[in-house]
């Protein structure tokens, strides 16, 4: 029996089109990818160096919040298509496809930290015993596939082995909160390779999600690597551009929401990603914009737009505190109610979330925060621990009771409808900072609230 087989719930050969796949990394990308490929009928073994995390996954505990993911993992584990291990040897021995889905956080200089990616490459080289395709799904700078190939080759040379392998790029395009839908019904599947053998294996891998129309796009590796960064940078640019326009609208007495409708009606622009707000966050946009700008500098090119995108976003996150402090005449000794901690709805991810910039500014100015989020409360506790100037409440009503102002940072559905008369009577002072423009300013002001939105007069 091949290494890793005994980890599955029961031995199943699968259909004739089933592919054995190993995924290194059980974070957001790795876990969603593994669960979705297993659900399509493939046999998937997920590898992680964190043994406690592996034990929790084997017991059915999914460490991240993503709609539908826990059920998907449980079903495919139970039915023998998905398994988890901390053994790299088992992982390399199992799948013909070796998928790298580990993190690439920002280094101090803004570049992508490839230490985890290259560590996996060395691990594969140490245990390789036959042909494998190393599939890079992590978001990485252009040229990383070459570095992965060099790492594996160096380890094989040290072993005195000459074994065949290929490296390809297969970037992910998953939105947190809609990742399963994006994986199963995504607009495109990009594979960077020059090898026909790799093309055939990747066609088999994605065949269940490529039946209705051709979504597979094959290109050279470097183009595939750049495509991922370019896509995220373009979306981040749209957000920062709208926030720039919002700031201009405030100063000109225009309403950015009317402007948004006007420009969005142009099919060349469209309505996606042109919603003004308090800035973007998460694990992708901030990191990827910085990494791409750093890559440009490495090839002696000044990517002025990318620099401006990040600068505008940082300024936009700071604008919430500026509006709040101005409205209250300072926040020292004040209690600020906060609705929404996650960087966007349908996730518990608080990485680089606008809420964090706001809370930390309030604390630095001597204020207190009372916050509620439908999913991110545990993540907030993990990040900040127990502190006297932070209270995490059981519902949105408890958060605003007697607070000096309410700030909305995340547009969860349960925040979209509110009785403004109730809100006015519940707050100690009638200040509402709408960081996502989800409320009608006139309705809020008619109830006696001092309403402050983004880009609204």
What amino acid positions are annotated as catalytic residues? 284
The DSSP line for 123-159 is HHHHH--S-EEEEE-S---TTHHHHHHHHHHHHHHHH
**Cα end-to-end distance, the chain, whole Å:** 69
Query: Is 184:36 a contact under the CB 8 Å cutoff?
Result: yes
Greatest Cα pair distance, the chain, in angstroms, is 78
The alpha carbon dihedral of 74, 77, 80, 82 has a sign of positive
Task: Give helix 304-328 / helix 221-252 axis angle, nearest 10°.
Answer: 40
Give the residues across from 166 on adjacent strands.
133
Continuous segment of H or E residues that includes residue 245: helix 221-252
Residue with tokens 């043994």: 51
Contact 280, 286 (CB under 8 A): yes
Strands 450-452 and 335-339: unpaired
């Amino acid at each position: 029996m091949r290494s890793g087989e005994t980890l599955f719930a029961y031995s199943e050969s699968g259909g004739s089109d089933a592919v054995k796949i190993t995924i290194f990394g059980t974070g957001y990308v790795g876990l969603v990818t593994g669960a979705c490929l297993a659900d399509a009928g493939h046999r998937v073994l997920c590898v992680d160096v964190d043994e406690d995390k592996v034990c929790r996954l084997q017991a059915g505990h999914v460490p991240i919040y993503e709609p539908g993911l826990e059920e998907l993992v449980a079903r495919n584990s139970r039915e023998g298509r998905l398994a988890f291990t901390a053994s790299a040897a088992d992982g390399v021995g199992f799948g013909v496809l070796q998928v790298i889905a580990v993190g690439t956080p920002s280094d101090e200089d803004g570049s992508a930290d490839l230490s985890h990616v290259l560590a996996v490459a060395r691990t594969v080289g140490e245990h390789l015993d036959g042909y494998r395709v190393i599939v890079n799904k992590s978001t990485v700078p252009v040229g990383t596939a070459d570095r992965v190939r060099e790492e594996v080759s160096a380890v094989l040379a040290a072993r005195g082995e000459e074994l065949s392998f290929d490296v390809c790029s297969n970037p992910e395009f998953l939105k947190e909160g809609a990742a399963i839908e994006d994986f199963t019904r995504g607009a495109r599947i990009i594979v960077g390779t020059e090898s026909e053998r790799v093309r055939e294996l990747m066609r088999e891998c994605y065949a269940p999600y490529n039946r209705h129309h051709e979504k597979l796009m094959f290109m050279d590796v470097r183009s595939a690597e750049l495509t991922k960064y370019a896509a995220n940078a373009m979306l981040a640019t749209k957000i920062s551009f709208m926030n720039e326009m919002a700031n201009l609208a405030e100063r000109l007495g225009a309403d950015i929401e009317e402007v948004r409708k006007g420009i969005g009606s142009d099919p060349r622009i469209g309505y996606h990603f042109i919603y003004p707000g308090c800035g973007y966050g998460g694990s992708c946009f901030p990191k990827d914009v910085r990494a791409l700008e750093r890559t440009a500098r490495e090839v002696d090119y000044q990517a002025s737009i990318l620099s401006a995108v990040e600068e505008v976003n940082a300024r936009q996150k700071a604008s919430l505190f500026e509006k709040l402090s101005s409205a209250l005449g300072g926040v020292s000794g004040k209690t600020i109610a906060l609705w929404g901690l996650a960087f966007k709805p349908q996730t518990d991810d608080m990485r680089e979330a606008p809420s964090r910039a706001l809370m930390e500014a309030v604390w630095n100015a001597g204020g207190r925060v009372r916050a509620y989020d439908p999913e991110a409360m545990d993540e907030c506790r993990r990040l900040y621990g127990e502190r006297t100037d932070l209270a995490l409440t059981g519902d949105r009503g408890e958060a605003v009771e007697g607070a000096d102002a309410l700030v909305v940072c995340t547009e969860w559905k349960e925040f979209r409808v509110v009785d403004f008369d109730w809100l006015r009577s519940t707050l100690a002072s009638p200040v509402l900072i709408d960081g996502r423009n989800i409320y009608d300013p006139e309705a809020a002001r008619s109830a006696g609230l001092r309403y402050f939105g983004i880009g609204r007069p």
